[in-house]
Structure 1
């Protein structure tokens, strides 16, 4: 098919593997690992008595359910005492453990023969084990090639009360994705669901009772889904806490957040035309990383609990607060302020004059910031640099003056516009306690030179200097980054993970 379209099949295969690597890195790890050891300790004076087998069935089941699937099933052959334990213990099925290598890491490429072998093993395990099923982590099969078998998997999972399901397809070609069986909506016990490379079912005409009553975490990875179907999921998931989107979403989605329960939304490497917080009273976090859309509009409507927001790219993305689109020179009034946000992350092209000129007005919309992250984006063009005079003439910025206690400047290159902005912050911020300057990869000749360049920002500081700790780092990554959803869901600060290579942290 690829050759018929004038494409190289090998290049298409490599493209899929590259996209899969991002998805595999993003999704949470399964609850069991092949690296775990099960050690049976014998009493030194007990003559090698097997005390483990004397434990109650409930405790033995607890042990077995934490073993990789091959080891868990093999416990049935230990003795008559152990024979019923595996079948009665909650099942954790990770198909990566069924591959010849049997590693925790999900491979980007799987041979067709290995995929078929894993699929047969999954079918056998799901047919034999009576449930309940704690977790099914299925990521290693070309599921387009046996849709009937996948449908039977989902029937087993639904009947046996699956709690966590990861169903990541390996489509080939990339543009031919099968429809997800509608059985997915009969899994009323689901608490966590991740889908990858599927066409989502058309929810029009679904019965009123179709719902995910216990679903708390949903991940959609390169899924073809209509806006009405996302609306349907949010409406039928009354306790949904976390929504994660990874990869290109087709068609281009206008994402509308209407949910009484959502607290965290993470979007990585996706193409969304807009995100509108229509009614999200509990939403605390909106995290956007590496957006693929040339221009995305974000509208903050009713989101009174929003405390973390980023990365927003000035000059590319559009922010609307209430009925007002924020631009350079837009009058800042109480109706254009988002007073709830405490942590903000922005991407700025300091070499593009009009982008950088938006920064003061943008920051005024977030008057109560405690932590500010600025990512300086490299640009091949330059349309003029802003000096220190510009920042002072632009007027006071409330959050910088009176609230920000920590600021991190990522991918610093030592350019004039970057230095003038940093000096403005150092001289204006009365509450600043920590300043982190992370040099871009390859922009540091020596540690002492980097420290001296940053320390020069404090020379001639107006007024008495606050007690400010300074940390100077070098970025480990040259460009881009993998994102994992656990990074943004642990309710710490996901923007504060500084990637530093050996020797990348310099003493100050």
Structure 2
């Protein structure tokens, strides 16, 4: 049976009201992933310059070469003193109410035609497409003008039902694009697009659209330098083969996963699976040729099985060269430690990543415990290379003081010889247990007596899933799993023993 989309599952589980909730959540995530415009009239520098009159009122700009003028013009904030009236109209925030009038459509069309180009960025994010369905020709004309004038960044997001209105085919003429964000629409039939359709300069792609597997394959094939791929709240279950010589970053948020096969991605460094929403079927994520994969998470044993080369990892899978990914240094798990079937997968999973130095564990709250693992289970887990030889930092999120959580922490503390820091983040409803967290570990015989133990309050209420920021995740200078530990330190102990 095919897996359902997030919207379909929400409708079945909670009724029509859940559709609005799910929609708002998707739009919020899309906006979170959307880059800030490069300029704004609200910026202090822009406002100061606009307010300051020239002493001699001499135009010192017009004498610049045309190419420089075009470059500056395409990046300046909206200001009547800089833009012609039609261009100023375009650069204003176009709200839903403004778009209901035919006059605004005409003004926007005139502004696009009057703008000399190039367009650095064009954001169309406040438009209910249902209201402009009668203006499809104008929208197509807008995209033709944007394509002709070399638009580099394009954000095109629908905020209201229906979500299956087709994206204009003219979109695929914007060959100068470097960044493209598409939200809540339907892919056109890529099979009938001309062979020239493609994005030879596209580096970042963010999608939350109704598309078939072949549509995603089309986008990957026609984007030869694509480095960053984000898919948020896919409206159908994802099943795709990742073959890319350029991709460095892939994140899938609120998606129904069917099968993700990383066949050949030699530059891939980060692979994130966040808030996978479909529970009815277990998906498969296979890791083939990804020699530079450095960061992976959050892995959920109940929702996704792991494949490495041609092997599906199961409990008690024997370690071999064909069942490990030695490049991963930062790993994140989301696991219900009260469920035996999930916990049984943890040792086998960790053995697949022998060089992990930083481990994040998000402890999900189990509604129904089934056969809690005991101390003997962890004692018989066998040799786990990353834990015993390489692990330097453990961050345990949403600690509730359960015995199953404590057993796992003791296992790490007593086995991890290189462990420098253990961070325990208390679930918001368990703040008063901060002293107990230390008392519980008092009797532990630490493998590294110089380990530093830190207990923190969770900075956010328990939402049932790890907090996530899509833009931080794409920032290679930051660790997206670690946005908790810089806040609210309650207790620090050196030389834990």
- Which TM-score band (shorter chain)? 0.7 to 0.9
Distance 1:403 1:356 in 2: 21
Q: What residue in structure 2 maps to residue 391 of structure 1?
A: 378
Is residue 22 from structure 1 mapped to residue 29 from structure 2 by the alignment?
yes
Q: What secondary structure is seen at the aligned counterpart in 1 of 2:126?
A: coil
Q: What residue in structure 2 maps to residue 54 of structure 1?
A: 60
Mapping of residues 469-484 of structure 1, within 5 Å: 469-479=453-463, 480=465, 483-484=468-469
Mapping of residues 267-278 of structure 1, within 5 Å: 267-278=252-263
Mapping of residues 358-397 of structure 1, within 5 Å: 358-397=345-384
User: What's the C-alpha RMSD, in Å, of the aligned pairs?
Assistant: 3.1
State the 1:279 CA deviation. Answer: 1.2
Asked if 1 retains the 8 angstrom alpha-carbon contact of 2:239 and 2:259, the reply is yes
Moved more, 191-200 or 385-394: 385-394
Asked if 1 retains the 8 angstrom alpha-carbon contact of 2:358 and 2:392, the reply is yes
Asked if 1 retains the 8 angstrom alpha-carbon contact of 2:90 and 2:107, the reply is no
Structure 1: gaps (5+ residues): 78-82, 100-109
1:332–1:14 Cα change, 3 Å: closer
State the 1:318 CA deviation. Answer: 0.6
Moved more, 461-470 or 404-413: 461-470
2:151 aligned to which of 127, 147, 162: 162
Distance 2:104 2:421 in 1: 51
1:206–1:243 Cα change, 3 Å: same
Q: What secondary structure is seen at the aligned counterpart in 1 of 2:450?
A: coil
Q: What residue in structure 2 maps to residue 102 of structure 1?
A: none
Asked if 2 retains the 8 angstrom alpha-carbon contact of 1:287 and 1:309, the reply is yes
Asked if 2 retains the 8 angstrom alpha-carbon contact of 1:162 and 1:187, the reply is yes
2:141 aligned to which of 131, 147, 152: 152
1:185–1:372 Cα change, 3 Å: same
Distance 1:117 1:379 in 2: 56
Is residue 36 from structure 1 mapped to residue 43 from structure 2 by the alignment?
yes
Distance 2:276 2:102 in 1: 35
Moved more, 21-30 or 451-460: 451-460
Structure 2: gaps (5+ residues): 1-10, 493-497
Moved more, 485-494 or 238-247: 485-494
Is residue 129 from structure 1 mapped to residue 115 from structure 2 by the alignment?
yes
1:236 aligned to which of 200, 206, 222: 222
Asked if 1 retains the 8 angstrom alpha-carbon contact of 2:324 and 2:351, the reply is yes
1:507–1:218 Cα change, 3 Å: same
Distance 1:16 1:463 in 2: 48
Q: What secondary structure is seen at the aligned counterpart in 2 of 1:139?
A: strand
Mapping of residues 19-418 of structure 1, within 5 Å: 19-37=26-44, 38-40=47-49, 49-50=55-56, 53-54=59-60, 57=64, 65-69=74-78, 71=79, 73-76=80-83, 97-99=93-95, 110-111=96-97, 119=105, 121-144=107-130, 145=133, 146-174=135-163, 177-221=164-208, 223-250=209-236, 252-294=237-279, 295-418=282-405
State the 1:464 CA deviation. Answer: 5.3
Distance 1:442 1:8 in 2: 29
Please give the per-residue CA displacement for 1:373-410, whole angstroms capped at 9, x wherever unaligned: 11111111001222333212222211011101111111
Q: What secondary structure is seen at the aligned counterpart in 1 of 2:425?
A: strand
